Structure 1
Amino acid sequence: MTSLHDIIDSTLQNKDVIMKQQDIGVLRVSGLDSKKFLQGQTTCDMNKLSQDNGLYGAICSIKGRIISSFYIVQRNDDVLMIMAKDLVEKTLLHLKKYAVFFKTTLTDEQDHFAVYTRLVNQKIEDDSNVASSIFTTTQDNDIITLTISQEPLEIQFLITSAKAEIEEKNSELAALAILAARPLINLEQSETILPQWLNMQSTGGISFTKGCYTGQEIVARMQYKGKSKKQLALVTWQGNLDTTKDIVDEQGKNIGQIFDFTYIQDTHYAQVILNIDPSDAEKILLDNQEIILLPLPYSLDSKK
């Protein structure tokens, strides 16, 4: 199986990569009850959020489907939720239904903050925190730096004022961030996916000890009864294929769909949601062409 590190080393070649994320927005939650309010609405444990520690999580419907997934940081007394820009308004309207019972204010800040992605290609000596539920956060010179992945490379979100400009470098190589396999869903995908289908139980996105939140019963039942084999996987291929088609096995049976994809020159990388364990298929095909399965940068062992 192709190594993620080999792909990254040969593609990045130690280049600095910084790219402005035009499709990512910010929802600000402020007020005395902000964390208490979000504790009952998110899959992650808000008690672990601090100015030094960010979180990854989701807001679910009562049916356990993800309304929006996010990274979250604390900035002074405010909580900033980093998510797909086209989901900020929907998430705000959903949360407002519950916020009336708390001392908290929700504000669409996508015009006041900018988010950049920075890639750092460096080997880590200790991989014990690769799938940690806590994401290191530093705050300096009006820039919040959130490390969202350490493996297969270090990926950071730089969150700053929309008026500030950070110089972009080799932005076309930022596509490699897809290999972290910790996705943020968009509006079209909203309320169609369970958290476990994105491996969130293994990437710090779900706490199974925090207590109740909207959709928690469904998410917990899926975890402990294991009714679905669906999982996020990584694949690659050369050339242009029809990504709207189903992924099939060698017998032509539907075994999954493309979740998200990107490319660098002629090489495509994709996150796919498979209906089977990847090891159960000898070949994985898309648009009548075999595509190559890549290893995940984390173990799928459940995080309780």
Structure 2
Amino acid sequence: MTLTTQADILATQPAEAQLQALLHHAGNFSLNDLGWIRITGEDRVRWLNGMVTNSIQDLAPGLGCFNFILNAQGRIQGTAYAFARPDDILLQTSRAHLAGLIATLDRFIIMDDVELTGDTTDRTGIGIAGPEAASFLKQLGLPTPSSLALETISWHGAEVTLLATHSPLVPRFELWANAATAESLTLALATAGAEPCAPEVVEWLRLLEGTPRYGTDIRDKELPQETAQTQALHFNKGCYLGQEIVERIRSRGNVHRTFTAYRLEGSIPPAGTVIEAEAKSVGEITSAAAIPLSSGTLHLALGYIRREALDRAVPLTYAGGEAHPVPLPIRDL
């Protein structure tokens, strides 16, 4: 039987083998959960710099940064990678939150020469991750951008945009093109030996990296410093929405709780499960999964914990077992 689609190829390998490819070789996967916002207008840099937590004004064309979008109370309303280009700025965010983020940002365009457009063009994304990811791109004649850099090239006569994303555990790259070109790239990567990976397996990699997902691990009640994602914060860029709260937390030196990972001894709990210590609630679980590793199955969760419980190293329990905080990313694989 000839393997003609990614779904056909996926069916031939167990999930455990797909995860091993991501961790030790290279795997490719769909990025259909991500979407784009295009920002144009003469005031786009100044305006966006006043809307997000990172420095947009410092971005040279082709470079990007990770950002929080806050409300006036400093609570996180969204996350996005911003990439500067000569004539516009591209924001990448969750496709599920695309319309909501556009609506949130649009409310703050008053007299500014700024226009927001949800990218409805024929743009399909492919991810490739793993220690050998760069080697597979080179086999296809594709460049390997540096971290958070975006580059557009011609591949077999079609336009392809490449970018290197935040990768705390293994290198990650993204390829964006029209649907036909994306299908050709997917099959070319698989033919070269990059293992096609199912969404569940990519989710396992996210948990091992300890990357929080907006809407799951980051909600609109979270403050930026609670998430431990310091790469989203710039403290010398000038004023922006919610800055007063961020600076107040910084001046006091800490927040009461922080994002962490838990190694679980027990069942896999649902999101929202309370973590307890000494019969008191001290944290919660936001994501969890049983991850099949070569050393055995790891029950891993992401979530929050009060700092005093973490500092005191008190025993932690949840409805279903014990929880043990572990540092991120998980490297003992």
| Interval containing the TM-score (normalised by the shorter chain) | 0.7 to 0.9
Q: Is the 8 A contact 2:36 2:119 kept in 1?
A: yes
Task: Give the deviation of 1:70 after TM superposition.
Answer: 1.2
**Partner Cα separation in structure 1 for residue 19 and residue 311 of structure 2:** 26
Q: Tell whether 2:199 aligns with 1:186.
A: no
Q: Tell whether 2:173 aligns with 1:135.
A: no
Distance 1:292 1:19, change over 3 A: farther
**Partner Cα separation in structure 2 for residue 187 and residue 37 of structure 1:** 28
Residue 291 of structure 1: SS of its match in structure 2? strand
Match of 1:274 in 2: 305
What do the CA deviations read for 1:252-290 (whole angstroms, capped 9, x no partner)? Answer: 321111233344355443321212253423333232412
Q: Is the 8 A contact 1:83 1:184 kept in 2?
A: no
Match of 2:252 in 1: 225
Task: Give the deviation of 1:114 after TM superposition.
Answer: 3.2
- Where structure 2 has 5 or more consecutive residues not aligned to the other structure, the ranges are 1-17, 133-146, 191-195
Task: Give the deviation of 1:135 after TM superposition.
Answer: 2.5
Task: Give the deviation of 1:14 after TM superposition.
Answer: 2.5
**Partner Cα separation in structure 2 for residue 267 and residue 146 of structure 1:** 31
Aligned Cα root-mean-square deviation (Å): 3.0
**Partner Cα separation in structure 2 for residue 213 and residue 13 of structure 1:** 38
Match of 1:14 in 2: 24
Out of 263, 285, 291, the residue aligned to residue 317 of structure 2 is 285
Q: Tell whether 2:165 aligns with 1:148.
A: yes
Q: Computing the radius of gyration over CA atoms, which structure comes out larger, 1 or 2?
A: 2
Q: Is the 8 A contact 1:86 1:187 kept in 2?
A: no
Structure whose residues are more often helix by fraction: 2
Out of 276, 280, 287, the residue aligned to residue 253 of structure 1 is 280
**Partner Cα separation in structure 1 for residue 318 and residue 160 of structure 2:** 41
Q: Tell whether 2:227 aligns with 1:210.
A: no
Name the stretch that deviates more: 190-199 or 274-283.
Answer: 274-283
Match of 1:87 in 2: 97
Q: Tell whether 2:174 aligns with 1:174.
A: no
Match of 1:196 in 2: 225
**Partner Cα separation in structure 2 for residue 89 and residue 262 of structure 1:** 29
**Partner Cα separation in structure 1 for residue 226 and residue 122 of structure 2:** 32
The amino acid across from 2:153 in the alignment is: D
Task: Give the deviation of 1:244 after TM superposition.
Answer: 2.9
Name the stretch that deviates more: 164-173 or 65-74.
Answer: 164-173
**Partner Cα separation in structure 1 for residue 52 and residue 32 of structure 2:** 25
What do the CA deviations read for 1:128-185 (whole angstroms, capped 9, x no partner)? Answer: xxxxxx7333333433333333432223343444553342712343221333334341
**Partner Cα separation in structure 1 for residue 116 and residue 126 of structure 2:** 23
Distance 1:84 1:232, change over 3 A: same
Task: Give the deviation of 1:225 after TM superposition.
Answer: 1.2
Task: Give the deviation of 1:60 after TM superposition.
Answer: 0.5
Q: Tell whether 2:313 aligns with 1:264.
A: no
The amino acid across from 2:63 in the alignment is: N
**Partner Cα separation in structure 2 for residue 152 and residue 286 of structure 1:** 28
Out of 92, 102, 108, the residue aligned to residue 112 of structure 2 is 102
Match of 1:60 in 2: 70
**Partner Cα separation in structure 2 for residue 233 and residue 77 of structure 1:** 39
**Partner Cα separation in structure 2 for residue 216 and residue 153 of structure 1:** 32
Q: Is the 8 A contact 1:118 1:174 kept in 2?
A: no
Q: Percent identity?
A: 21
Distance 1:297 1:242, change over 3 A: closer
Q: Is the 8 A contact 1:236 1:291 kept in 2?
A: yes
Residue 35 of structure 2: SS of its match in structure 1? strand
Task: Give the deviation of 1:189 after TM superposition.
Answer: 5.2
Name the stretch that deviates more: 285-294 or 101-110.
Answer: 285-294
**Partner Cα separation in structure 2 for residue 271 and residue 59 of structure 1:** 22
